[in-house]
Amino acid sequence: MGTVESQLATASQVTDGFHLVIDALKLNGIDTIFGLPGIPITDFTRMAQAAGLRVISFRHEQNAGNAAAIAGFLTQKPGICLTVSAPGFLNGLTALANATTNCFPMILISGSSEREIVDLQQGDYEEMDQLAIAKPLSKAAFRVLHAEDIGVGVARAIRAALSGRPGGVYLDLPAKLFAQTMDAEAGKKSLIKVVDPAPKQIPGADAVKRALDLLKGAKKPLIVLGKGAAYAQADAEIKSLIEKTGIPYLPMSMAKGLLPDTHEQSAAAARSYVLPEADVVMLVGARLNWLLSHGKGKTWGGKGHKDRGGQKFIQIDISPQEADSNVRIDAPVVGDIGSCVSALLAGIGSNWVKPPADWLGAIAERKNKNVAKMAETLAKDPRPMNFHSALNVVRDIVKANPDAILVNEGANALDFTRSIVDMYKPRKRLDVGTWGVMGIGMGFSVAAAVVSGLPVIAIEGDSAFGFSGMEVETLCRYNLPVCVVVFNNNGVYRGTDVNPTGGPDVAPTVFVKGARYDKLIEAFGGVGVHATTPAELRKAMEEAIRSRKPTLINAVIDETAGTESGRITSLNPTSGKKK
């Protein structure tokens, strides 16, 4: 030993924490990392890029985290978000918690400070017990202290994110781990390629029979498709189940397009009719949470807000604990949606009796009425432009480009888009999800463009956009085919509030009037357009889709047009104090 040659020979047989993490991810088919560099992971991002991983850098970790989460939803591979310690970790944590809440598989990997110093609380650089903080907010949380355990750590994180009900997983990698060395051959052997990370879960035959018996006896059956059904990628089976049974279905927001929204069995335009009227409701990857009024109350035909409407429920879900979380589930079917729906299809056979004609007729009548009313509203061309006249354009553009992915957040900008813009293909609508969270916009848009290569249209309330707006630089940096449309109504919900004191501060919901969001993207070389009419909006959107250039359209919307909190006004508590 001692010669340069022998030193090189020794070095080449050694690997380290940096490379083992990269190799473990690559071995498991991970090809993209969303993150933000800094101590202790800057070199990691460089090495990952050098090793052929795509490393997409963001301006704020929350956006990188949201990108990872939705990449997970779209691909059924855990999306990876990489952050620095304490503050970077915390910035990413909101996205991790949101991913867990929405059942999206992602792994937040954060560098952390020196364990001995953290545990004695001696004030290390960015000191924080990250693992303890992540635990209650994630599906699982792990820390790796030794290079030889990296393979196991990454494998456990992947399995935890993908198996059963998907969710967010935290993986803590202390700074010291990255530099740890070990024999390269032993390192290679220590890595694990995860076999069958999301194993099929076959439902019990008795559970399937119970569900089918209930469905067969129904006079007014209804199927509710949720984002779990979209995630499952069992599109053909679900379409077949709906069409073979002839049962009307209601898509939850992110399940829109699982079957085209124009499908004759879609009951979306008769929502407030079918929920209270149905006698048997089959939930497919949808929870009876607040978005479905907890399965009770007036929405379901109950007298008071806690009363049930008398429906019987079938619930298909991978989580055995989901049933009965809000109301009694008469026929739980536990398993993965692909297997469950296939089992139901097998049981249905070829002589299934379609639902009674009077049920289908009554739905069609409500639906036609609502659709006609909507068509009338959409045909108007008011000045200034309002949500409807602007969304009439978006509706046409999406119809002409059914492969484009639609990202959507805001209050009115969200709710109007959901009901006005029809979706035609599965997993094309990505939105605020279970928490109704603002800030997903640009992270989701970046990831959707990166993982699919398809054009992305982001319909953003002006408030919603502000939460992740700086990422327009990211759109430009990676030259992504994203067309952001900011529905600018000068504020949160509406731009018309006034300060009751007459003081110089504007009301809390009001922004700078007439702001030019289009100028923001121009700063980074993207295309900015100021649109005040549907014709201008249409031209700009068509051009954005055609050119695939990062584009931001500032669509000026009548500031009086919205309502407080969009369609969920009633969730605002009212003051009990008499004025």
Residue 322: CB partners within 8 Å, gap ≥ 6? 165, 287, 315, 332
Residue 284, helix vs strand vs coil: strand
Query: Rule CB under 6 A: which of 22-61 touch ligand ADP?
Result: none
Q: Under rule CB under 6 A, which residues in 278-317 are in contact with ligand ADP? A: 285-287, 289, 291, 317
CB closest to ligand OXT, residue no: 461
How far apart are CB 556 and Mg ion at their closest, in Å? 11
Q: Does 221 bind Mg ion (CB under 5 A)?
A: no
Other CB atoms within a 10 A radius of the CB of residue 542 amount to 16
What are the two backbone dihedrals, phi and then psi, of residue 85, each rounded to the nearest 5 degrees?
-75, -170
For 13, the 3-state DSSP assignment is coil
Instruction: Pick out residues in 518-547 that bind Mg ion (CB under 5 A).
Output: none
Overall size of the chain counted in residues: 579
Q: Is 341 in the site for ligand ADP (CB under 6 A)?
A: no
Whole-number Å distance between alpha carbons of 418 and 420: 6
Torsion-angle region of residue 479: left (phi > 0), alpha (psi -120 to 50) or beta?
left
Strands 527-531 and 482-488: unpaired
Q: Is 162 in the site for ligand ADP (CB under 6 A)?
A: no
User: Can you tell me which of 40, 221, 228, 495 binds ligand ADP, judged by CB under 6 A?
Assistant: 228
Q: Is 558 in the site for Mg ion (CB under 5 A)?
A: no
- Of ligand OXT, Mg ion, ligand ADP, none, which one sits near residue 81, judging by CB under 5 to 8 A according to partner kind? none
Does position 408 bind Mg ion by CB under 5 A? Answer: no
- When asked if residue 489 is in the footprint of Mg ion (CB under 5 A), the reply is yes
Query: Interface with ligand OXT includes 326 (CB under 6 A)?
Result: no
Burial track 322-334 (b if 16+ CB lie within 10 A, e otherwise): bbeebbebbbbbb
37 belongs to the binding site for Mg ion (CB under 5 A): no
Q: Is 139 in the site for ligand ADP (CB under 6 A)?
A: no
The upper half-sphere exposure of residue 295, i.e. CA atoms within 13 Å in the direction of its Cβ, equals 24
Rg of the chain in Å (alpha carbons): 26
Q: Closest Cα to residue 416, out of 325, 487, 515, 491?
A: 487
Q: Which residue has the tokens 């001995």?
A: 116
Interface segment toward ligand OXT; rule CB under 6 A; list 21-29, 34-42, 97-105, 565-573: 565-573
Is 255 a binder of ligand ADP (CB under 6 A)?
yes
Residue among 20, 17, 75, 22 nearest 45 (CA): 22
Q: How far is the CB of 101 from ligand ADP (least distance, A)?
A: 8
**Cα(169)–Cα(109) distance, rounded to whole angstroms?**
9
CA 128 to chain centre: 28
241 lies in the site for ligand ADP, by CB under 6 A: no
Least gap, CB of 227 to ligand OXT (angstroms):
11
Judged by beta carbon distances under 5 to 8 A according to partner kind, the member of ligand OXT, Mg ion, ligand ADP, none in contact with residue 40 is none
Q: What are the backbone dihedrals phi and psi of residue 18, each rounded to the nearest 5 degrees, phi first?
A: -50, -55
Within 316-335, which residues bind ligand ADP (CB under 6 A)? 317-319, 322
Least distance from C-beta 422 to Mg ion, angstroms?
23
> In the complex with ligand ADP, which residue's Cβ is closer, 39 or 202?
202
Q: Is 360 in the site for ligand OXT (CB under 6 A)?
A: no
Can you state the angle between helices 387-400 and 357-379, rounded to 10 degrees?
110
Longest dimension (CA), the chain: 90
Among 437, 391, 97, 73, CA closest to 255: 73
462 binds Mg ion (CB under 5 A): yes
Q: Left if phi > 0, otherwise alpha if psi is -120 to 50, otherwise beta: which for 484? A: beta
Among 27, 374, 454, 515, binds ligand OXT (CB under 6 A): 374
Q: What minimum distance in Å lies between the beta carbon of 347 and ligand OXT?
A: 30
User: Judged by CB under 6 A, does residue 272 bind ligand OXT?
Assistant: yes
- Distance between CA 247 and CA 266 in Å, rounded? 9
Q: Kindly write out the interface string for residues 426-455 of this chain, putting x where it contacts ligand OXT by CB under 6 A and - elsewhere.
A: ------x---xxxx----------------
From the list ligand OXT, Mg ion, ligand ADP, none, partner contacted by residue 71 (C-beta under 5 to 8 A by kind): none
Contact 53, 31 (CB under 8 A): yes
Interface pick for Mg ion out of 285, 461, 534, 550 (rule CB under 5 A): 461
Tell the smallest beta-carbon distance from residue 254 to Mg ion (Å).
Answer: 22
Work out whether 385 is an interface residue with ligand OXT (CB under 6 A): no
Size of the site for ligand ADP (CB under 6 A): 24
Tokens 């189940």 identify what position? 241
Structure-block tokens of residue 455 = 């054009």
Q: Any contact of residue 554 with Mg ion (CB under 5 A)?
A: no
Q: How far is the CB of 565 from Mg ion (least distance, A)?
A: 11
- How many Cα neighbours within 13 Å face the side chain of 533? 5
Residues of this chain that bind ligand OXT (CB under 6 A):
253, 268-272, 291, 370-371, 374, 410-415, 418-419, 432, 436-439, 461-464, 487, 489, 492-493, 562, 565-568
Report the interface residues with Mg ion, using CB under 5 A: 461-462, 489
Q: What residues make contact with ligand ADP under the rule CB under 6 A?
A: 102-103, 165-166, 226-228, 231-232, 252, 254-255, 285-287, 289, 291, 317-319, 322, 336-337, 434
